[in-house]
């Protein structure tokens, strides 16, 4: 894989960039601040915060930041066999509105830093893994928008929030607030879309985390209960046995 450039730009004055003859690689651009205008394959687009552009070789592209506007974005131009295979395995939306996910931005920043190192210090293996992580993360973020899947985007937002916070004792009210919905609407929408309640989904994540710790650590059962968001061991024991038919201690020891 070849990273031609990778960086972050912030413009406060008039700015123009173009590939009228076709982009020489795969170009990804995530708007993080302000607004700008893009002409992609002769179609004019008003780009706002959270808009992700995924462009392939040969696409025509023009970027405009007008006087008096500000615009910030992460961008990447790359090419290579792995990218070709990844791009062709599924249809990619040219533009999608995604969450400004901290994990995606962290990977992008890490890649920028690694790519800036002098050749003698740059680690191509790290760059390769970072690029694959970024591509697949952007793909999932784009495909999770309500314009691409049958699942309402608000439900996806709730799922991501639960996944990130389940082991710290997430509450239904917090999930609803994050999605910008009322509690009753969140509860109904989540159950009808996912097939389980918000609490059941959170419990599923906590149990998976607990099973990993039972298998691969020597943590006490009390510590696992607290670390995975169950609070007390008695509650952890009750939930674990209800779902797996065996106590946490017996699961760890392999007895029934």
Whether 146 has a pLDDT exceeding 70, the answer reads no
Whether 134 has a pLDDT exceeding 80, the answer reads yes
User: Of 237, 222, 229, 98, which Cα lies nearest the Cα of 165?
Assistant: 229
Q: Where are the domains of the chain?
A: 2-143, 151-256
In order of 40, 67, 98, 144, the CA distances from 43 in angstroms are 5, 22, 20, 24
pLDDT band at 110 (very low <50, low <70, confident <90, very high): very high
% of the chain residues with pLDDT over 70: 97
- Cα angle vertex 42, ends 40, 44, to 5°? 65
Cα(213)–Cα(228) distance, integer angstroms? 9
Looking at domain 2-143, its CATH superfamily turns out to be Regulatory protein AraC (2.60.120.280)
Say if CB 103 and CB 109 are below 8 A apart. Answer: no
pLDDT band at 75 (very low <50, low <70, confident <90, very high): very high
Q: What CATH number is given for 151-256 in this structure?
A: 1.10.10.60
Mean pLDDT confidence for 37-61: 95
Please give the pLDDT value at position 149: 55
Please give the pLDDT value at position 256: 55
Please give the pLDDT value at position 122: 87
In order of 81, 84, 129, the CA distances from 1 in angstroms are 7, 10, 10
Please give the pLDDT value at position 151: 77
Please give the pLDDT value at position 68: 87
pLDDT band at 63 (very low <50, low <70, confident <90, very high): very high
Structure tokens at 250: 């017996």
Whether 46 has a pLDDT exceeding 90, the answer reads yes
What digits encode the pLDDT tens for the residues 78-103?
999 999 999 999 989 999 988 788 88
- With 0-12 / 13-18 / 19 or more C-beta atoms within 10 angstroms meaning exposed / middle / buried, residue 142 is buried
Please give the pLDDT value at position 255: 64
Which residues are registered as beta bridge partners of 44? Answer: 39
Please give the pLDDT value at position 169: 81
Mean pLDDT confidence for 108-136: 93
For all residues of the chain together, what is the average pLDDT?
A: 92
pLDDT band at 236 (very low <50, low <70, confident <90, very high): very high
What digits encode the pLDDT tens for the residues 185-213?
999 999 999 999 999 999 999 999 999 99
Mean pLDDT confidence for 217-232: 92
In this structure, the strands spanning 2-11 and 71-79 are antiparallel
Helix (H, G, I), strand (E, B) or coil at 123: coil
Cα(96)–Cα(30) distance, integer angstroms? 10
């Amino acid at each position: 894989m070849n990273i031609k450039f990778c960086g972050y730009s912030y413009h406060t004055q008039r700015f123009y960039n173009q590939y009228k003859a076709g982009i020489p690689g795969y170009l990804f651009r995530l708007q993080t601040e302000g607004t700008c205008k893009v002409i992609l394959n002769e179609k004019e687009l008003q780009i706002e915060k959270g808009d992700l552009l995924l462009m392939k070789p040969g696409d025509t592209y023009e970027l405009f930041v007008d006087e008096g506007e500000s615009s910030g974005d992460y961008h990447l131009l790359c090419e290579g066999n792995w990218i070709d295979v990844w791009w062709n395995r599924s249809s990619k939306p040219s533009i999608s509105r995604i969450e400004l996910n901290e994990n995606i931005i962290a990977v992008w920043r890490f890649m920028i830093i690694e790519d800036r190192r002098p050749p003698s210090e740059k680690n191509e293996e790290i760059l390769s893994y970072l690029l694959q992580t970024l591509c697949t993360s952007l793909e999932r973020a784009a495909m999770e928008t309500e314009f691409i899947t049958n699942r309402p985007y608000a439900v996806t937002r709730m799922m991501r929030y639960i996944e990130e916070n389940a082991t710290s004792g997430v509450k239904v009210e917090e999930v609803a607030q994050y999605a910008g919905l009322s509690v009753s609407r969140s509860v109904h929408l989540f159950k009808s879309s996912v097939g389980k309640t918000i609490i059941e989904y959170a419990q599923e994540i906590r149990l998976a985390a607990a099973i990993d710790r039972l298998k691969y650590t020597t943590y006490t059962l009390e510590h696992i209960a607290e670390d995975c968001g169950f609070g007390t061991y008695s509650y952890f024991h009750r939930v674990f046995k209800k779902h797996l038919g065996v106590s946490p201690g017996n699961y760890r020891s392999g007895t029934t």
